[in-house]
Chain A
Amino acid sequence: MENAITVDKLYINYKYADKRSLTNALKFWKKDKDDKSFSAVKGISFSVQKGEILGVIGKNGSGKSTLLRAIAGIFSPDKGSIDLHGNSVSLLSIGVGFQKQMTGRENIFLSGLLLGFSEKQINEKIDEIIEFAELGDFINRPVKTYSSGMHSKLAFSITAILETDIILIDEVLSVGDARFKKKSFEKMKELILDSNRTVIIVSHSIETLKQLCDKVMWLHDGEIKMQGAPSEVLPVYEAFMT
Protein backbone atom coordinates (compact mmCIF):
# COMPACT_ATOMS: atom_id res chain seq x y z
CA MET A 1 0.00 0.00 0.00
CA GLU A 2 1.17 3.50 -0.75
CA ASN A 3 1.46 6.08 1.98
CA ALA A 4 -0.98 8.98 2.07
CA ILE A 5 0.68 10.88 4.91
CA THR A 6 4.31 10.72 5.91
CA VAL A 7 5.44 12.66 8.95
CA ASP A 8 9.14 12.78 9.61
CA LYS A 9 10.75 13.98 12.85
CA LEU A 10 8.17 16.71 13.28
CA TYR A 11 8.73 19.50 15.79
CA ILE A 12 6.24 22.28 16.46
CA ASN A 13 7.02 25.06 18.91
CA TYR A 14 4.88 27.73 20.46
CA LYS A 15 6.44 30.90 21.65
CA TYR A 16 5.25 32.61 24.79
CA ALA A 17 4.77 36.36 24.80
CA ASP A 18 5.14 36.50 21.10
CA LYS A 19 2.60 39.19 20.66
CA ARG A 20 4.49 42.36 21.34
CA SER A 21 3.35 45.80 22.16
CA LEU A 22 5.61 48.45 20.75
CA THR A 23 7.62 48.81 23.94
CA ASN A 24 8.23 45.11 23.98
CA ALA A 25 9.15 45.20 20.34
CA LEU A 26 11.82 47.79 21.08
CA LYS A 27 13.13 45.64 23.90
CA PHE A 28 13.13 42.73 21.53
CA TRP A 29 15.62 44.46 19.30
CA LYS A 30 17.87 44.91 22.27
CA LYS A 31 17.72 41.18 22.59
CA ASP A 32 14.93 39.45 24.33
CA LYS A 33 16.07 36.90 26.83
CA ASP A 34 12.61 35.92 28.01
CA ASP A 35 11.77 34.44 24.66
CA LYS A 36 10.65 31.11 26.00
CA SER A 37 9.26 28.62 23.64
CA PHE A 38 7.66 25.32 24.26
CA SER A 39 7.39 22.32 22.00
CA ALA A 40 3.91 20.93 21.56
CA VAL A 41 5.12 18.19 19.25
CA LYS A 42 8.58 16.75 19.77
CA GLY A 43 10.13 14.79 16.96
CA ILE A 44 7.24 12.61 15.88
CA SER A 45 7.62 10.28 12.89
CA PHE A 46 4.85 8.11 11.52
CA SER A 47 3.07 7.31 8.30
CA VAL A 48 -0.51 6.58 7.39
CA GLN A 49 -1.35 4.37 4.45
CA LYS A 50 -3.97 5.26 1.90
CA GLY A 51 -7.40 4.23 3.15
CA GLU A 52 -6.20 3.70 6.68
CA ILE A 53 -7.96 5.11 9.73
CA LEU A 54 -5.64 6.31 12.43
CA GLY A 55 -6.89 7.21 15.89
CA VAL A 56 -4.91 9.62 18.04
CA ILE A 57 -5.40 9.55 21.77
CA GLY A 58 -3.76 11.27 24.69
CA LYS A 59 -4.49 13.54 27.61
CA ASN A 60 -5.26 17.23 27.19
CA GLY A 61 -2.28 19.24 26.01
CA SER A 62 -0.42 16.28 24.60
CA GLY A 63 -0.16 17.88 21.16
CA LYS A 64 -2.99 16.09 19.36
CA SER A 65 -4.74 19.14 17.94
CA THR A 66 -1.46 20.79 17.11
CA LEU A 67 -0.48 17.73 15.11
CA LEU A 68 -3.75 17.79 13.17
CA ARG A 69 -3.42 21.48 12.39
CA ALA A 70 0.10 20.93 11.16
CA ILE A 71 -1.06 18.16 8.84
CA ALA A 72 -3.84 20.43 7.58
CA GLY A 73 -1.18 23.00 6.66
CA ILE A 74 -2.27 25.66 9.13
CA PHE A 75 1.04 25.46 10.99
CA SER A 76 4.31 24.87 9.30
CA PRO A 77 6.76 22.52 11.00
CA ASP A 78 9.54 24.17 12.97
CA LYS A 79 11.66 21.16 12.15
CA GLY A 80 11.01 17.97 10.22
CA SER A 81 8.53 17.50 7.42
CA ILE A 82 5.01 16.48 6.52
CA ASP A 83 4.34 14.97 3.11
CA LEU A 84 0.77 14.48 1.96
CA HIS A 85 1.78 12.97 -1.39
CA GLY A 86 -0.45 15.40 -3.26
CA ASN A 87 -3.68 14.51 -1.48
CA SER A 88 -6.27 17.15 -0.66
CA VAL A 89 -6.94 17.58 3.02
CA SER A 90 -9.60 19.08 5.25
CA LEU A 91 -9.77 19.54 8.97
CA LEU A 92 -13.15 18.71 10.33
CA SER A 93 -13.50 20.30 13.69
CA ILE A 94 -16.24 21.99 15.60
CA GLY A 95 -16.97 25.20 13.71
CA VAL A 96 -15.17 25.65 10.43
CA GLY A 97 -14.18 29.25 9.80
CA PHE A 98 -17.35 31.13 9.00
CA GLN A 99 -17.86 34.76 8.08
CA LYS A 100 -20.43 35.66 10.70
CA GLN A 101 -22.24 38.39 8.81
CA MET A 102 -22.74 36.26 5.72
CA THR A 103 -25.48 33.73 5.13
CA GLY A 104 -25.12 30.00 5.57
CA ARG A 105 -25.37 29.49 1.83
CA GLU A 106 -22.57 31.97 1.14
CA ASN A 107 -20.46 30.33 3.80
CA ILE A 108 -20.88 26.96 2.15
CA PHE A 109 -19.38 28.47 -1.00
CA LEU A 110 -16.60 30.20 0.87
CA SER A 111 -15.62 27.09 2.81
CA GLY A 112 -15.79 24.98 -0.31
CA LEU A 113 -13.61 27.39 -2.29
CA LEU A 114 -11.10 27.39 0.53
CA LEU A 115 -11.02 23.62 0.52
CA GLY A 116 -10.02 23.83 -3.13
CA PHE A 117 -13.30 23.04 -4.87
CA SER A 118 -14.59 25.03 -7.82
CA GLU A 119 -17.85 26.95 -7.72
CA LYS A 120 -19.34 24.41 -10.12
CA GLN A 121 -18.43 21.45 -7.92
CA ILE A 122 -19.95 23.19 -4.93
CA ASN A 123 -23.11 23.98 -6.87
CA GLU A 124 -23.54 20.28 -7.55
CA LYS A 125 -23.28 19.42 -3.89
CA ILE A 126 -24.95 22.37 -2.25
CA ASP A 127 -28.44 20.91 -2.06
CA GLU A 128 -27.09 17.81 -0.42
CA ILE A 129 -25.21 19.90 2.13
CA ILE A 130 -28.23 22.04 2.96
CA GLU A 131 -30.42 18.99 3.28
CA PHE A 132 -27.93 17.20 5.50
CA ALA A 133 -27.44 20.21 7.74
CA GLU A 134 -31.22 20.46 8.39
CA LEU A 135 -31.14 24.22 8.75
CA GLY A 136 -34.32 24.96 6.79
CA ASP A 137 -34.78 28.67 6.10
CA PHE A 138 -31.83 29.58 8.26
CA ILE A 139 -29.54 28.73 5.38
CA ASN A 140 -30.35 32.16 3.88
CA ARG A 141 -29.76 34.05 7.12
CA PRO A 142 -26.44 35.33 8.44
CA VAL A 143 -24.43 32.78 10.39
CA LYS A 144 -24.35 35.11 13.41
CA THR A 145 -28.02 34.29 14.00
CA TYR A 146 -27.29 30.57 14.34
CA SER A 147 -27.30 28.65 17.57
CA SER A 148 -24.10 26.82 18.36
CA GLY A 149 -25.74 23.54 17.42
CA MET A 150 -26.74 24.84 14.00
CA HIS A 151 -23.29 26.25 13.57
CA SER A 152 -21.60 22.90 14.09
CA LYS A 153 -24.22 21.05 12.05
CA LEU A 154 -23.44 23.26 9.07
CA ALA A 155 -19.71 22.95 9.63
CA PHE A 156 -19.96 19.20 9.78
CA SER A 157 -22.15 18.94 6.68
CA ILE A 158 -19.80 21.04 4.57
CA THR A 159 -16.72 18.99 5.26
CA ALA A 160 -18.58 15.69 5.28
CA ILE A 161 -20.21 16.17 1.90
CA LEU A 162 -17.41 17.97 0.10
CA GLU A 163 -15.13 14.99 0.33
CA THR A 164 -11.37 15.43 0.38
CA ASP A 165 -8.82 12.61 0.10
CA ILE A 166 -7.68 13.03 3.67
CA ILE A 167 -10.05 13.93 6.46
CA LEU A 168 -8.80 15.05 9.84
CA ILE A 169 -11.36 14.83 12.60
CA ASP A 170 -10.96 16.65 15.88
CA GLU A 171 -13.54 15.50 18.44
CA VAL A 172 -16.36 16.18 16.06
CA LEU A 173 -18.45 13.15 16.80
CA SER A 174 -20.51 15.07 19.30
CA VAL A 175 -22.35 17.46 17.00
CA GLY A 176 -25.87 18.73 17.51
CA ASP A 177 -28.71 16.93 19.26
CA ALA A 178 -28.96 13.19 19.85
CA ARG A 179 -30.58 12.48 16.49
CA PHE A 180 -28.09 14.53 14.48
CA LYS A 181 -25.29 12.97 16.47
CA LYS A 182 -26.42 9.54 15.35
CA LYS A 183 -26.85 10.69 11.78
CA SER A 184 -23.45 12.34 11.68
CA PHE A 185 -21.86 9.28 13.19
CA GLU A 186 -23.41 7.16 10.42
CA LYS A 187 -22.23 9.63 7.79
CA MET A 188 -18.80 9.65 9.32
CA LYS A 189 -18.65 5.87 9.21
CA GLU A 190 -19.72 5.91 5.57
CA LEU A 191 -16.98 8.43 4.76
CA ILE A 192 -14.40 6.58 6.73
CA LEU A 193 -15.22 3.17 5.31
CA ASP A 194 -14.56 4.41 1.78
CA SER A 195 -11.37 2.56 1.04
CA ASN A 196 -9.83 5.50 -0.84
CA ARG A 197 -10.12 7.86 2.06
CA THR A 198 -7.45 8.36 4.66
CA VAL A 199 -8.65 9.50 8.06
CA ILE A 200 -7.04 10.68 11.27
CA ILE A 201 -9.35 10.93 14.25
CA VAL A 202 -8.47 12.69 17.46
CA SER A 203 -10.75 11.66 20.27
CA HIS A 204 -10.99 11.04 23.97
CA SER A 205 -13.65 8.42 23.43
CA ILE A 206 -12.10 5.00 23.63
CA GLU A 207 -15.34 3.48 22.43
CA THR A 208 -15.28 5.51 19.20
CA LEU A 209 -11.69 4.69 18.44
CA LYS A 210 -12.26 1.00 19.12
CA GLN A 211 -15.13 0.96 16.65
CA LEU A 212 -13.59 2.95 13.84
CA CYS A 213 -9.82 2.76 13.76
CA ASP A 214 -7.34 0.40 12.15
CA LYS A 215 -4.51 1.78 14.18
CA VAL A 216 -4.15 3.92 17.28
CA MET A 217 -1.38 6.29 18.21
CA TRP A 218 -0.97 7.43 21.80
CA LEU A 219 0.59 10.85 22.24
CA HIS A 220 2.05 11.86 25.56
CA ASP A 221 3.68 15.29 26.07
CA GLY A 222 4.34 15.66 22.36
CA GLU A 223 5.91 12.26 21.89
CA ILE A 224 4.56 8.95 20.70
CA LYS A 225 4.16 6.74 23.71
CA MET A 226 2.76 3.76 21.89
CA GLN A 227 1.24 2.88 18.53
CA GLY A 228 -0.38 -0.22 17.14
CA ALA A 229 -3.70 -2.03 16.84
CA PRO A 230 -6.56 -0.56 18.92
CA SER A 231 -6.80 -3.77 20.91
CA GLU A 232 -3.19 -3.40 22.02
CA VAL A 233 -2.96 0.33 22.71
CA LEU A 234 -6.35 1.18 24.16
CA PRO A 235 -6.28 -1.12 27.21
CA VAL A 236 -2.82 0.15 28.18
CA TYR A 237 -4.01 3.74 27.76
CA GLU A 238 -7.09 3.09 29.83
CA ALA A 239 -4.98 1.57 32.58
CA PHE A 240 -2.60 4.52 32.43
CA MET A 241 -5.35 7.11 32.75
CA THR A 242 -7.05 5.58 35.77
Chain B
Amino acid sequence: MKHFFRDIKKYFSYAVYSAKAELKAEVSSSYLNWMWWILEPLCFMFIYMFIYSVVFQSKQEYLSLFIFIGLTVWTFFNKCITVSVKLVQNNSAIVSKVYLPKFILIVEKMLVSGFKMFVSLALIFVMMPFFGVKFSFSILLIIPLLLLFFLVTFGICTWMMHFGVFVEDLSYIVNIGLRLLFYVTGVFYPIASKVPSPFNMILLKGNPIAYIIDELRNAILYNIPMDYKFFGIWTVLSFLIIYIGIKMIYKYENSYVKVI
Protein backbone atom coordinates (compact mmCIF):
# COMPACT_ATOMS: atom_id res chain seq x y z
CA MET B 1 0.00 0.00 0.00
CA LYS B 2 2.91 2.35 0.63
CA HIS B 3 3.93 1.53 -2.88
CA PHE B 4 0.47 2.60 -4.04
CA PHE B 5 0.68 6.07 -2.52
CA ARG B 6 4.20 6.60 -3.80
CA ASP B 7 3.08 5.70 -7.32
CA ILE B 8 0.03 7.96 -7.08
CA LYS B 9 2.29 10.84 -6.17
CA LYS B 10 4.82 10.03 -8.84
CA TYR B 11 2.42 9.49 -11.72
CA PHE B 12 -0.46 11.80 -10.83
CA SER B 13 0.91 14.62 -12.95
CA TYR B 14 0.95 12.21 -15.89
CA ALA B 15 -2.70 11.34 -15.33
CA VAL B 16 -3.69 14.99 -15.07
CA TYR B 17 -1.78 16.03 -18.15
CA SER B 18 -3.08 13.10 -20.13
CA ALA B 19 -6.67 13.76 -19.06
CA LYS B 20 -6.39 17.42 -20.08
CA ALA B 21 -4.96 16.49 -23.44
CA GLU B 22 -7.69 13.91 -23.97
CA LEU B 23 -10.44 16.42 -23.20
CA LYS B 24 -8.83 18.90 -25.54
CA ALA B 25 -8.59 16.33 -28.33
CA GLU B 26 -12.24 15.42 -27.81
CA VAL B 27 -13.32 19.04 -28.02
CA SER B 28 -11.35 19.80 -31.16
CA SER B 29 -12.64 16.78 -33.03
CA SER B 30 -16.40 17.39 -32.83
CA TYR B 31 -18.51 20.09 -34.35
CA LEU B 32 -20.39 21.41 -31.32
CA ASN B 33 -17.42 20.41 -29.13
CA TRP B 34 -17.83 21.18 -25.43
CA MET B 35 -21.51 21.94 -25.88
CA TRP B 36 -22.02 18.19 -26.03
CA TRP B 37 -21.08 17.86 -22.39
CA ILE B 38 -24.23 19.85 -21.60
CA LEU B 39 -26.46 18.82 -24.51
CA GLU B 40 -25.99 15.09 -24.08
CA PRO B 41 -27.22 14.80 -20.47
CA LEU B 42 -30.01 17.28 -21.18
CA CYS B 43 -31.28 15.24 -24.13
CA PHE B 44 -31.21 12.04 -22.12
CA MET B 45 -33.07 13.84 -19.35
CA PHE B 46 -35.90 14.73 -21.75
CA ILE B 47 -36.08 11.16 -23.03
CA TYR B 48 -36.50 9.69 -19.56
CA MET B 49 -38.89 12.46 -18.51
CA PHE B 50 -41.04 11.46 -21.44
CA ILE B 51 -40.92 7.78 -20.52
CA TYR B 52 -41.61 8.38 -16.86
CA SER B 53 -44.34 10.99 -17.04
CA VAL B 54 -46.02 10.22 -20.39
CA VAL B 55 -45.58 6.49 -20.87
CA PHE B 56 -45.87 5.47 -17.24
CA GLN B 57 -48.14 8.36 -16.22
CA SER B 58 -46.29 8.97 -12.98
CA LYS B 59 -45.51 12.08 -11.02
CA GLN B 60 -42.47 13.11 -9.02
CA GLU B 61 -41.53 16.41 -7.42
CA TYR B 62 -38.75 18.19 -9.38
CA LEU B 63 -38.80 15.38 -11.94
CA SER B 64 -36.33 16.96 -14.35
CA LEU B 65 -33.68 17.51 -11.70
CA PHE B 66 -34.49 14.18 -10.13
CA ILE B 67 -33.63 12.44 -13.41
CA PHE B 68 -30.71 14.73 -14.14
CA ILE B 69 -28.97 13.85 -10.87
CA GLY B 70 -29.44 10.16 -11.56
CA LEU B 71 -28.07 10.52 -15.08
CA THR B 72 -25.07 12.55 -13.98
CA VAL B 73 -24.00 9.85 -11.55
CA TRP B 74 -24.88 6.98 -13.84
CA THR B 75 -23.08 8.38 -16.90
CA PHE B 76 -19.84 8.66 -14.94
CA PHE B 77 -20.10 5.18 -13.50
CA ASN B 78 -21.11 3.58 -16.78
CA LYS B 79 -18.34 5.29 -18.73
CA CYS B 80 -15.61 4.40 -16.24
CA ILE B 81 -16.58 0.74 -16.01
CA THR B 82 -16.95 0.32 -19.76
CA VAL B 83 -13.54 1.82 -20.55
CA SER B 84 -11.81 -0.11 -17.79
CA VAL B 85 -12.56 -3.48 -19.33
CA LYS B 86 -10.51 -2.77 -22.44
CA LEU B 87 -8.18 -0.25 -20.87
CA VAL B 88 -4.92 -2.19 -21.02
CA GLN B 89 -5.48 -3.36 -24.60
CA ASN B 90 -6.33 0.14 -25.75
CA ASN B 91 -3.15 1.49 -24.23
CA SER B 92 -0.92 -1.30 -25.45
CA ALA B 93 1.25 1.22 -27.31
CA ILE B 94 2.28 2.76 -24.01
CA VAL B 95 2.09 -0.28 -21.78
CA SER B 96 4.49 -2.25 -23.96
CA LYS B 97 7.04 0.54 -24.21
CA VAL B 98 7.40 1.95 -20.72
CA TYR B 99 6.51 0.97 -17.19
CA LEU B 100 3.62 2.70 -15.52
CA PRO B 101 1.45 1.47 -12.67
CA LYS B 102 -1.60 0.27 -14.54
CA PHE B 103 -4.15 1.73 -12.14
CA ILE B 104 -2.95 5.18 -13.27
CA LEU B 105 -4.80 4.48 -16.52
CA ILE B 106 -8.01 4.23 -14.50
CA VAL B 107 -7.24 7.43 -12.63
CA GLU B 108 -6.75 9.18 -15.95
CA LYS B 109 -10.10 7.98 -17.31
CA MET B 110 -11.82 8.95 -14.07
CA LEU B 111 -10.40 12.46 -14.35
CA VAL B 112 -11.75 12.76 -17.88
CA SER B 113 -15.23 11.55 -16.94
CA GLY B 114 -15.05 13.41 -13.65
CA PHE B 115 -14.55 16.70 -15.42
CA LYS B 116 -17.64 16.12 -17.52
CA MET B 117 -19.54 15.13 -14.41
CA PHE B 118 -18.66 18.43 -12.78
CA VAL B 119 -20.00 20.27 -15.80
CA SER B 120 -23.23 18.34 -15.27
CA LEU B 121 -23.24 19.13 -11.56
CA ALA B 122 -22.73 22.82 -12.23
CA LEU B 123 -25.72 22.63 -14.53
CA ILE B 124 -27.80 21.20 -11.69
CA PHE B 125 -26.98 24.20 -9.52
CA VAL B 126 -27.87 26.54 -12.35
CA MET B 127 -31.23 24.82 -12.86
CA MET B 128 -32.16 24.63 -9.18
CA PRO B 129 -33.49 28.19 -8.80
CA PHE B 130 -35.47 27.81 -12.05
CA PHE B 131 -37.43 24.94 -10.63
CA GLY B 132 -37.84 26.63 -7.29
CA VAL B 133 -35.67 24.24 -5.31
CA LYS B 134 -34.66 25.79 -2.00
CA PHE B 135 -30.97 25.69 -1.15
CA SER B 136 -30.24 24.18 2.25
CA PHE B 137 -27.12 23.21 4.14
CA SER B 138 -27.76 19.57 3.46
CA ILE B 139 -26.38 20.27 0.01
CA LEU B 140 -22.91 20.08 1.57
CA LEU B 141 -23.48 16.35 1.93
CA ILE B 142 -22.73 15.94 -1.76
CA ILE B 143 -19.02 16.26 -0.93
CA PRO B 144 -18.73 13.08 1.17
CA LEU B 145 -21.22 11.34 -1.13
CA LEU B 146 -19.19 12.09 -4.23
CA LEU B 147 -15.99 10.99 -2.50
CA LEU B 148 -17.63 7.69 -1.66
CA PHE B 149 -18.86 7.45 -5.24
CA PHE B 150 -15.32 7.90 -6.60
CA LEU B 151 -13.98 5.24 -4.24
CA VAL B 152 -16.64 2.73 -5.24
CA THR B 153 -16.12 3.39 -8.93
CA PHE B 154 -12.34 3.21 -8.67
CA GLY B 155 -12.56 -0.07 -6.78
CA ILE B 156 -14.84 -1.73 -9.30
CA CYS B 157 -12.75 -0.39 -12.17
CA THR B 158 -9.58 -2.00 -10.81
CA TRP B 159 -11.31 -5.39 -10.87
CA MET B 160 -12.73 -4.79 -14.35
CA MET B 161 -9.37 -3.75 -15.76
CA HIS B 162 -7.61 -6.75 -14.28
CA PHE B 163 -10.06 -9.37 -15.48
CA GLY B 164 -10.58 -7.54 -18.79
CA VAL B 165 -6.99 -8.38 -19.69
CA PHE B 166 -7.39 -12.11 -19.23
CA VAL B 167 -11.00 -12.76 -20.16
CA GLU B 168 -11.53 -11.71 -23.72
CA ASP B 169 -15.32 -11.52 -23.82
CA LEU B 170 -15.75 -9.83 -20.47
CA SER B 171 -16.99 -6.70 -22.23
CA TYR B 172 -20.20 -8.49 -23.34
CA ILE B 173 -20.94 -9.60 -19.81
CA VAL B 174 -20.19 -6.18 -18.43
CA ASN B 175 -22.49 -4.54 -20.96
CA ILE B 176 -25.38 -6.80 -20.01
CA GLY B 177 -24.62 -6.33 -16.33
CA LEU B 178 -24.53 -2.57 -16.68
CA ARG B 179 -27.85 -2.52 -18.53
CA LEU B 180 -29.46 -4.54 -15.76
CA LEU B 181 -27.88 -2.30 -13.15
CA PHE B 182 -29.14 0.77 -14.97
CA TYR B 183 -32.75 -0.35 -14.61
CA VAL B 184 -32.49 -1.46 -10.99
CA THR B 185 -30.57 1.64 -9.94
CA GLY B 186 -33.56 3.92 -10.30
CA VAL B 187 -31.87 6.43 -12.54
CA PHE B 188 -35.22 7.71 -13.83
CA TYR B 189 -37.72 6.50 -11.24
CA PRO B 190 -37.88 6.49 -7.43
CA ILE B 191 -37.08 3.00 -6.18
CA ALA B 192 -38.60 3.55 -2.75
CA SER B 193 -42.13 4.21 -4.02
CA LYS B 194 -42.16 2.27 -7.30
CA VAL B 195 -40.72 -1.06 -6.22
CA PRO B 196 -42.75 -3.15 -3.78
CA SER B 197 -41.34 -3.66 -0.33
CA PRO B 198 -39.07 -5.34 0.78
CA PHE B 199 -37.30 -5.37 -2.62
CA ASN B 200 -37.12 -1.59 -2.71
CA MET B 201 -34.95 -1.46 0.39
CA ILE B 202 -32.72 -4.24 -0.93
CA LEU B 203 -32.23 -2.41 -4.22
CA LEU B 204 -31.69 0.89 -2.49
CA LYS B 205 -29.20 -0.14 0.15
CA GLY B 206 -27.59 -3.18 -1.47
CA ASN B 207 -26.46 -1.30 -4.53
CA PRO B 208 -23.97 1.47 -3.79
CA ILE B 209 -24.85 3.43 -6.92
CA ALA B 210 -28.57 3.43 -6.11
CA TYR B 211 -27.74 4.41 -2.55
CA ILE B 212 -25.53 7.30 -3.67
CA ILE B 213 -28.03 8.59 -6.24
CA ASP B 214 -30.82 8.42 -3.68
CA GLU B 215 -28.84 10.27 -1.03
CA LEU B 216 -27.71 12.90 -3.51
CA ARG B 217 -31.33 13.59 -4.43
CA ASN B 218 -32.27 13.76 -0.78
CA ALA B 219 -29.45 16.19 -0.11
CA ILE B 220 -29.93 18.44 -3.11
CA LEU B 221 -33.69 18.40 -3.71
CA TYR B 222 -35.64 17.16 -0.76
CA ASN B 223 -33.55 18.10 2.28
CA ILE B 224 -33.97 14.66 3.81
CA PRO B 225 -31.25 13.59 6.29
CA MET B 226 -28.72 10.96 5.23
CA ASP B 227 -28.54 7.30 6.23
CA TYR B 228 -25.14 7.36 7.94
CA LYS B 229 -25.05 3.67 8.73
CA PHE B 230 -25.00 2.64 5.09
CA PHE B 231 -22.59 5.43 4.28
CA GLY B 232 -20.17 3.85 6.74
CA ILE B 233 -20.75 0.34 5.45
CA TRP B 234 -20.16 1.31 1.82
CA THR B 235 -17.08 3.34 2.68
CA VAL B 236 -15.50 0.37 4.45
CA LEU B 237 -16.52 -2.00 1.65
CA SER B 238 -15.17 0.24 -1.06
CA PHE B 239 -11.80 0.49 0.68
CA LEU B 240 -11.75 -3.29 0.82
CA ILE B 241 -12.57 -3.58 -2.89
CA ILE B 242 -9.84 -1.07 -3.75
CA TYR B 243 -7.34 -2.85 -1.53
CA ILE B 244 -7.92 -6.21 -3.18
CA GLY B 245 -8.03 -4.69 -6.66
CA ILE B 246 -4.76 -2.81 -6.23
CA LYS B 247 -3.06 -5.88 -4.76
CA MET B 248 -4.18 -7.91 -7.76
CA ILE B 249 -3.01 -5.33 -10.25
CA TYR B 250 0.41 -5.00 -8.66
CA LYS B 251 0.82 -8.73 -8.58
CA TYR B 252 -0.10 -9.36 -12.19
CA GLU B 253 0.47 -6.10 -14.05
CA ASN B 254 3.79 -7.15 -15.48
CA SER B 255 2.28 -10.15 -17.17
CA TYR B 256 -0.43 -8.01 -18.84
CA VAL B 257 1.97 -7.10 -21.62
CA LYS B 258 2.67 -10.72 -22.37
CA VAL B 259 -1.01 -11.46 -22.83
CA ILE B 260 -2.16 -8.54 -24.98
Contacts and interface: CB of A to CB of B under 8 A. Distances in A.
25 contacts: A15-B258, A21-B167, A22-B169, A74-B95, A74-B97, A74-B98, A74-B254, A75-B255, A75-B257, A95-B93, A96-B97, A97-B97, A99-B93, A99-B94, A101-B25, A103-B21, A106-B24, A111-B98, A113-B11, A113-B13, A113-B14, A113-B17, A115-B98, A118-B13, A142-B25
A111 B17 CA distance: 11
B100 interface: yes
A75 B256 CA distance: 9
Contacts, number: 97
B230 interface: no
Interface string B243-256: 00000000000110
B167 A22 contact: yes
Nearest to B252: A76
A75 B21 CA distance: 28
Main secondary structure of the interface of B (DSSP, over half): helix
B96 A74 contact: yes
A109 B17 contact: yes
Contact of B22 (A72, A98, A99, A109): A99
A110 B258 CA distance: 23
B1 interface: no
A19 B13 contact: no
Contacts of B255: 75-76
A110 B14 contact: yes
A226 to B, nearest CB: 28
Contacts of A74: 95-99, 254, 257
Contact of A20 (B22, B168, B260): B168
